[in-house]
Amino acid sequence: MNIEKLQARLADFAKERDWEQFHSPKNLSMALAGEVGELLEIFQWLSEEQSQRSALTDKQLAAATEELADILIYALRLADRLDINLEEAISKKIDKNALRYTVEASRGNSAKR
Amino acid sequence: MNIEKLQARLADFAKERDWEQFHSPKNLSMALAGEVGELLEIFQWLSEEQSQRSALTDKQLAAATEELADILIYALRLADRLDINLEEAISKKIDKNALRYTVEASRGNSAKR
Amino acid sequence: MNIEKLQARLADFAKERDWEQFHSPKNLSMALAGEVGELLEIFQWLSEEQSQRSALTDKQLAAATEELADILIYALRLADRLDINLEEAISKKIDKNALRYTVEASRGNSAKR
Amino acid sequence: MNIEKLQARLADFAKERDWEQFHSPKNLSMALAGEVGELLEIFQWLSEEQSQRSALTDKQLAAATEELADILIYALRLADRLDINLEEAISKKIDKNALRYTVEASRGNSAKR
């Protein structure tokens, strides 16, 4: 996925519609949260088993796909507005998690540290 | 960003710790929402102006960077578990939005359609 | 507001529809979050000023009223399932906040402690 | 629970600290969502069974109690700022749900209508 390209496309999209005025980081974080709320609604009454890919109906999977796309779109747009290098941020966070959640201490244990 | 590579790294991370049992799509959607909640907490009392990159303190920016990384990590992991092609999903969604929010109808107007 | 009465009404509502199977605390927390997502969508592109009661359209106010009702309904239901005394919990939390955010230290300052 | 009394206490709390400037409906909806995110974090890796009152540890229950209190506090405060009568709103919503989700159509079926 070429993030910069997608971000440029999203920036153009907003600019053409004069939507930059709405796209403050504060507002984008709210829009992101709104989309995550819609994702939760898909899974809220399903058991964990029923939420697995193999158990979802086509309609549920299509809905989840669309919500995940919306979530990514707002996350990319927010990262762009904050001038955050997402790839670097993710990579750093995985390294940090590897130190915090060592294999020995965390095997089979989901406790937050 | 090489999404497949990052997803493979996250899958290994979970496997090594025997965390696959926790990573149902239902649970991952909740974890994603939890991280978005932390992102909101950074911006909740800031004005839109204060939420702009140029106005954030280093600490606020570092916190936003880390939360965005967490959000992406869970989104990538969820897409992997659901076997969703994120790049394709995002591209399709942008096309759909272009039809729904035409430049003419949406200029300067954030109304949902 | 008679909380116990409302909770009894909500419990009956669920029981009559055989919905108790869906109302685990985990699921109710997700449903609550879904409703909060819908609340955020009302305010996400509004400025703080535009979100004030006096500036909202009737439609926006009606939508916010309905989302707040949904949020309270799930919060009351969750408290019931967890056997939490909400009134006591709220009162204790306000006392705790009074100690944590003293008037002297917090005047005009929204910083989390 | 005497809602008006609690709302008056919360209004005084904010006024004494000169926090009214921060308590726009937009900001309060974000703060509410932040607290809901913390609630989700308690339940995200638990199974539905493990999320039941009888299975929670004292620490988990205390955490859920505190998050629910925070959620209610922000919901009450937001209702106050929007001049919404919560009791009436909840009652109306339950009536509406009774029509939308009739016992016959919804028995054992969580589908949204």
Distance from CA of C95 to the nearest CA of D (A): 10
Q: Tell me, yes or no, if B29 comes closer than 8 A to chain A by beta carbon.
A: yes
Residue indicated by tokens 């974080």:
A29
Condensed to tens digits (0 to 9), the pLDDT of residues D32-57 reads 999 999 999 999 999 999 999 999 99
- pLDDT class for A113, splitting at 50, 70, 90? confident
Question: Who contacts D85 (Cβ-Cβ below 8 Å, separation ≥6)?
Answer: D79
Q: Which amino acid is at D41?
A: E
Residue B28: how many CA atoms within 13 Å on its side-chain side? 27
> What's this model's pTM, rounded to 2 decimal places?
0.97
Chains contacting A with at least 3 CB pairs below 8 Å?
A: B, C, D
pLDDT digits (tens, 9 = 90+) for D73-82: 999 999 999 9
- Overall average pLDDT of the A96-107 stretch: 94
Residue-level pLDDT at C111 = 85
Percent of chain C residues topping a pLDDT of 70: 100
B41 CB contacts (<8 Å, ≥6 apart)?
A: C112, D31, D34, D37
Residue A35 above 90 pLDDT?
A: yes
* pLDDT per residue as tens digits for the range A43-83: 999 999 999 999 999 999 999 999 999 999 999 999 999 99
Identify the structural domains of chain B with CATH numbers, from first to last: 3-84 (1.10.287.1080)
Residue numbers of A between 84 and 103 with CB closer than 8 Å to B: 84, 86-87, 89-94, 97-98, 101, 103
Q: DSSP state, B59? A: H
Does residue D25 sit at the B interface (CB-CB below 8 Å)?
A: no
Token look-up 């809905």 returns A63
pLDDT digits (tens, 9 = 90+) for A2-21: 899 999 999 999 999 999 99
The ipTM, to two decimals, is 0.96
Q: Give the chain C residue whose CA is nearest to the CA of D77.
A: C68
Q: How far is A51 from chain D (nearest CA, A)?
A: 13
DSSP D24-56: -HHHHHHHHHHHHHHHHHHHTTS-TTTTSGGGS
Residue C102 DSSP symbol: -
**Burial of B108 (C-beta count, 10 Å sphere; 0-12/13-18/19+):** exposed
> Over 90: is that where the pLDDT of A1 sits?
no
CB D2 within 8 A of CB D65: no
Whether C43 sits inside 8 A of A33 (CB atoms) is no
Residue B1: band (very low, low, confident or very high) from pLDDT cuts 50, 70, 90: confident
Is the CB of residue B30 less than 8 Å away from at least one CB of chain C?
yes
| C25 at A interface, C-beta within 8 A | no
Residues of D in contact with C35 (CB under 8 A): none
Q: Are residues D13 and C103 in contact, defined by beta-carbon separation less than 8 angstroms?
A: no
**Positive or negative, the Cα torsion across C19, D67, B67, A13?**
positive
**C92-C11-C13-A60 Cα dihedral, nearest 10 degrees:** 80
Listed in sequence order, the DSSP H helices in A51-102 are 58-81, 86-100
Average pLDDT, chain A: 96
Give the distance from residue B84's alpha carbon to the nearest chain C alpha carbon, in angstroms: 22
Give the pLDDT confidence of B57-93 residue by residue, as tens digits. Answer: 999 999 999 999 999 999 999 999 999 999 999 999 9
Is the pLDDT confidence value at D17 over 90?
Answer: yes
Segment C96-100 shows an average pLDDT of: 94
The answer to whether the CB of C73 falls within 8 A of the CB of D90 is yes
- Rounded Cα distance between A30 and A33, Å, is 5
pLDDT confidence tier of residue D1, bands split at 50, 70 and 90: confident
**D41·A112 Cβ contact <8 A:** yes
Does A99 have pLDDT greater than 90? Answer: yes
Query: Beta-carbon neighbour count of residue D78 at 10 Å?
Result: 26
Which helix H or strand E contains D95, and what residues bound it?
helix D86-100
- Report residue C102 as tokens: 């003293």
Q: What is the rounded distance in angstroms from the CA atom of residue B104 to the CA atom of residue A91?
A: 40
B42, closest residue in chain A (CA to CA): A26
Count of B–C CB contacts within 8 Å?
Answer: 15
Read off the pLDDT band of D66 (50, 70, 90). Answer: very high
Percentage helix, strand, coil for chain B under 3-state DSSP, each rounded to 5: 75, 0, 25
Residue C75 touches chain A, beta carbons under 8 Å: no
Whether C101 and D16 have beta carbons less than 8 Å apart is answered as no
Query: Which of B26, B30, B110 has the CB atom closest to C45's CB atom?
Result: B110
Q: Tens digits of per-residue pLDDT, C23-35?
A: 999 999 999 999 9
pLDDT, position D113: 77
CB atoms within 10 A of CB B2: 10
Residues of B in contact with A71 (CB under 8 A): 32, 71, 75
Amino acid identity for residue D45 in this structure = W
Q: pLDDT confidence of B53, banded at 50, 70, 90?
A: very high
Cβ atoms of residues D10 and C94 within 8 Å: yes
pLDDT in the model for residue B69: 98
Q: Check the CA dihedral D20-D26-D32-D35 and report its sign.
A: negative
